[in-house]
């Protein structure tokens, strides 16, 4: 076996594969019921340029996934990418696949002139936290993420 690994950009035809990886991530995070995006929705986000996605492929087999979108910061006056999903198949963790996906999105940031790459991580996910520390990422301890969605958005819009 050659053991060759590449990272490829997702296309609109990858909707089902993106959905499969989102379900894997949801199961791992014990949040599968929150994964409601359908393959055509994920494909539409990528096709429209609203999101980017990448797959790690080893010897013809997809073994990892990264999904991100552009954000901008008034603090730094620049855009960046927010990584919404990163998942490496269980049997392939520790093989450099996560680093390859993170390196690819970092290359995309540099090429676009972006000044930030950020993501969230569940506080119990120690393997991921250790991986991010190894990458040299800074933990923003003083931040909390707030979210309004679905019916709460509509309710707020009416106030």
Active site residue 132: yes
Walk me through the domains of the chain, giving residue ranges and CATH numbers: 5-157 (3.40.630.30)
Backbone angles phi, psi at 76, to 5 degrees: -105, -5
CA distance 136 to 82: 17
Residue 1 has pLDDT above 70, yes or no: no
pLDDT digits (tens, 9 = 90+) for 15-74: 999 999 999 999 999 999 999 999 999 999 999 999 999 999 999 999 999 999 999 999
Long-range Cβ contact pairs of 116-125 (< 8 A, separation 24 or more) = 116/71, 116/73, 116/76, 116/78, 116/79, 116/80, 116/81, 117/80, 117/81, 117/83, 118/71, 118/80, 118/81, 118/82, 118/83, 119/82, 119/83, 119/84, 119/86, 120/145, 122/29, 125/29
What is the pLDDT at residue 119? 97
Q: pLDDT tier at 7 (50, 70, 90 boundaries)?
A: very high
- Residue 85, both tokens: 């999903």
What is the pLDDT at residue 3? 75
Contact 3, 58 (CB under 8 A): yes
pLDDT digits (tens, 9 = 90+) for 96-146: 999 999 999 999 999 999 999 999 999 999 999 999 999 999 999 898 889
What is the pLDDT at residue 6? 98
What is the pLDDT at residue 30? 96
What is the pLDDT at residue 96? 97
CA distance 130 to 51: 26
Catalytic option among 21, 69, 132, 146: 132
Backbone angles phi, psi at 71, to 5 degrees: -130, 165
Q: 95: exposed, middle or buried (C-beta count within 10 Å: 0-12, 13-18, 19+)?
A: middle
CA distance 71 to 79: 6
Reported pTM:
0.93
């Amino acid at each position: 076996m050659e053991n060759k690994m590449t990272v490829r950009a997702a296309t609109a035809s990858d909707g089902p594969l993106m959905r499969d990886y989102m379900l894997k991530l949801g199961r791992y995070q014990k949040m599968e019921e929150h994964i409601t995006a359908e393959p055509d929705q994920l494909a539409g986000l990528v096709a429209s340029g609203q999101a980017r996605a990448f797959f790690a492929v080893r010897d013809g087999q997809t073994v990892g996934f990264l999904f991100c979108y552009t954000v901008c910061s008034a603090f730094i006056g620049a855009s960046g990418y927010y990584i919404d999903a990163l998942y490496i198949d269980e049997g392939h963790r520790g093989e450099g696949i996560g680093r390859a996906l993170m390196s690819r999105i970092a290359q995309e940031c540099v090429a676009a002139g972006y000044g930030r790459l950020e993501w969230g991580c569940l506080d119990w996910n120690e393997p991921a936290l250790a991986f991010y520390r190894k990458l040299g990422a800074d933990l923003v301890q003083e931040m909390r993420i707030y979210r309004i969605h679905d019916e709460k958005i509509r309710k707020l819009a009416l106030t």
